[in-house]
Amino acid sequence: MPRFAANLSMMFQEMPFLDRFAAARAAGFTAVEFLFPYDFPAAEIAKRLQDNGLQQVLFNAPPGDWAQGERGTACLPGRQEEFRDSIKKALDYAAALSCPRLHVMAGLAPAGVARDTLTGTYVANLAWAAEQAAPAGVKPVIEPINHRDIPGLFLNTMDQGAAIIAAVGPDRLGLQFDLYHCQVTEGDIVKRVEKHLPIIAHMQVADVPGRNEPGTGEVNWPFVFSRIDALGFRGWIGCEYRPAGETVAGLGWFAPYRA
């Protein structure tokens, strides 16, 4: 059966962030993910996880200046020292939260910089991050993100992600396969899951086009989830969607998969 993790950055926004852990557990989730933990002490988040019997399965490394529109620094020449500091900070949190996956955002491709230069920087940074993460039992992952939600992001397609992972090593770097982003950019999501399954370390889900909960858009999710299960994927699927209304009211799709 597919295993789903509540994304606490996007779900349960009816309440403060630290209260969302208990809400996720009450709704039947046994695992959570979120974008960034850095506004809160790691010990406080760890306590919420422990108190509610939850597993932390993913969060993002610091992305640069998010408020100013930055979406990662991994591909950006001249930002290597900042990138390394961000990974060190993220790994400190991962250790405190016992989190096995760390999403490393690629960054926006700067105008006037050759793609080969960006690719070389990206691969070198990811290889360094993987070397730091491995002793802690953490596997970095990269996520192709659609051109509509984040125009100009360096990494857009699953094939691009697979090529980067091949360069770094699939034992050291995994693919974060977001079904929503894939459907927007490429479509044919089941066939793409089948193709890339050996390197997929984490999945995420939202319906298309509105990025709301499964069942609100164009995708046949019962078929997709049953196929993912049949393929033998045993990782987590993060619910990175914006509830169309109140979070719990929109969890009808989740009923067959509750713990």
pLDDT digits (tens, 9 = 90+) for 191-221: 999 999 999 999 999 999 999 999 999 999 9
Indicate the residue type of 30. Answer: T
- How far from 47 is each of 20, 71, 129, 159, CA to CA, in Å? 13, 29, 27, 39
pTM: 0.96
Check pLDDT > 90 for residue 259. Answer: no
Residue 211 structure tokens: 């990025």
Residue among 237, 255, 252 at smallest CA distance from 2: 237
Cα distance between residue 64 and residue 223, in whole Å: 38
Please give the sequence-ordered ranges of beta strands (E in DSSP) within the chain, or none if there are none: 3-7, 31-33, 55-60, 101-103, 139-142, 174-178, 200-204, 236-239
Cα distance between residue 34 and residue 5, in whole Å: 10
Per-residue pLDDT reduced to its tens digit, 19-71: 999 999 999 999 999 999 999 999 999 999 999 999 999 999 999 999 999 99
Active-site residue, selected from the candidate residues 82, 218, 240, 246: 240
Active-site residue, selected from the candidate residues 131, 143, 213, 246: 143
240 an active-site residue?
yes
33 an active-site residue?
no
Residue 114: count other Cβ atoms within 10 Å of its Cβ.
9
Per-residue pLDDT reduced to its tens digit, 215-258: 999 999 999 999 999 999 999 999 999 999 999 999 999 999 99
